[in-house]
Amino acid sequence: MSTGLDLAESPEDAHFREELRAYLRDHPPSESGGGFAAQLEWQRTLHAGRWVAPQWPAQYGGRDATPSQYAVYWREMAAAGAPQIANRIGIQTVGPTLLACGSDEQRQRYLAPIASGEEIWCQLFSEPGAGSDLGGLRTTATLDGDHWVVSGQKVWTSYGAEARFGLLLARTESAVEGLAGISCMICDMTDPGVTARPLRQMSGEYEFSEVFLDNVRIPASAIIGERGKGWRVARAALTSERGIAFPMKEQMILEARVASLVDTLRAQAPAGARSRATVVQCVIDYELFRLMNLRTLTKLSDGEDISAWTSLAKLAWSRAAQRIAEAQVDLADLGGLAGDPAVWFEFLRYRMASIAGGTTEIQLSIIGDRLLGLPR
């Protein structure tokens, strides 16, 4: 099984890698667990050395890291066994969105506390009746003086119960349907009328919340970009979310899970043809996803638009993640793991892979429309 990115490392990338390794040796990840408090502690440790958001400009606490250096960053974090940071949506999605589409005032106000973890963010996009199809969202924003009055419901909101601010999509132009007429704005989650209720998943986690907005008053100055053109901002946010951070992190996770499957199969030799075929398919799925990430990295390095390409990588990830989880269950008896709750946890958790971050059906539509040029 291939590992890494198979790219020739430049002297600048090698220096970046060694500097990061030195910091991780001096500041090893805590073994206090993977809870929110531990994630926040780890974020603050990284922030102290300007390693929490290396892809950001140096003036905002980053390191002006290139796409290839950001990929190096994720491989080294995986090798060090680093936990997830608490404000990953703020760092990986909101920050890049403000850098690309926000005003100078918004960048000055929000980027520093995002990096430090002082202010946690969530993403208020999906709705019960408009998950991946954001053109169908029903949350409304009506202008009243110098404030928007917002009402609606959001769902699948990661960190909704912990967030201080949310990146919110709402329909500000009632006479316009579809993606037109949507605006992106900053919602203070502590304002009156905002209610976040954690959702228990079938895996037992409370990873998401549903959020209710009941006549929430949001300052008109909280709009990011232009009024009624929030879809452009949303595309920037989704591209940031899927660009490097998420796929590289998941590549490291899938790499370890596939290697474990291979080891289990070898330990039980001679294995049946069905078991061998199952594991081989998982290796193929992983390799496809890895190569998709390599292509994304190449396109980013060349300055190309990756917004549509990320749908292909996301589709490859969801299929690989679910098949690997299914294979872990299939091989559980071979490995003597039938009673291991971790096997079943992974199986249940990754059922969401074809839904979270954009459903498979929506990704296929984007691929057909924007990459293949198929008729609608």
Provide the residue range defining the domain that includes 224. Answer: 121-228
Q: Is the pLDDT of residue 22 over 90?
A: yes
Contact between residue 221 and residue 78 where contact means Cβ atoms under 8 Å apart: no
Contact between residue 76 and residue 17 where contact means Cβ atoms under 8 Å apart: yes
Residue 273 pLDDT grade (very low, low, confident, very high; cuts 50, 70, 90): confident
**CA 347 – CA 330 distance, rounded (Å):** 10
Q: In this structure, what token pair is assigned to residue 221?
A: 């100055």
SS (H, E, C) 53-118: CCCCCHHHCCCCCCHHHHHHHHHHHHHCCCCCCCCHHHHHHHHHHHHHHCCHHHHHHHHHHHHHCC
The CATH number covering residue 194 comes to 2.40.110.10
103 domain-assigned: no
Q: Tell me: do 64 and 179 sit in the same domain.
A: no
Contact between residue 143 and residue 170 where contact means Cβ atoms under 8 Å apart: no
**CA 325 – CA 349 distance, rounded (Å):** 9
Q: Tell me: do 149 and 209 sit in the same domain.
A: yes
Mean pLDDT of 73-86: 90
Identify the H or E element spanning 21. Answer: helix 11-26
What is the pLDDT at residue 310? 82
Domain boundary among 183, 204, 228: 228
Report the relative pairing of strands 147-158 and 165-171 from DSSP bridges: unpaired
Residue 5 pLDDT grade (very low, low, confident, very high; cuts 50, 70, 90): very low
pLDDT digits (tens, 9 = 90+) for 340-364: 777 888 888 888 888 877 788 888 8
Q: Tell me: do 18 and 70 sit in the same domain.
A: yes
Residue 264 pLDDT grade (very low, low, confident, very high; cuts 50, 70, 90): confident
CB atoms within 10 A of CB 303: 7
Mean pLDDT of 115-132: 89
pTM of the model: 0.84
Q: Tell me: do 306 and 279 sit in the same domain.
A: yes
Identify the H or E element spanning 121. Answer: strand 121-124
Domain boundary among 62, 86, 110: 86
Domain boundary among 228, 261, 291: 228
Mean pLDDT of 284-307: 86
pLDDT digits (tens, 9 = 90+) for 164-219: 999 999 999 987 877 889 999 999 999 999 999 998 877 777 778 999 999 999 99
Q: Tell me: do 128 and 21 sit in the same domain.
A: no
Please count the structural domains in the chain: 3
What is the pLDDT at residue 324? 94
Percent of the chain topping pLDDT 70:
92
**DSSP symbols for 242-284:** HHTHHHHHHHHHHHHHHHHHHHHHHHTPSPPHHHHHHHHHHHH
Q: Tell me: do 248 and 362 sit in the same domain.
A: yes
Cis upstream peptide for 113 (omega within 30°): no
Q: Closest Cα partner for 248 from 215, 287, 290?
A: 290
Q: Tell me: do 74 and 192 sit in the same domain.
A: no
235 domain-assigned: no
Q: Is the pLDDT of residue 335 over 60?
A: no
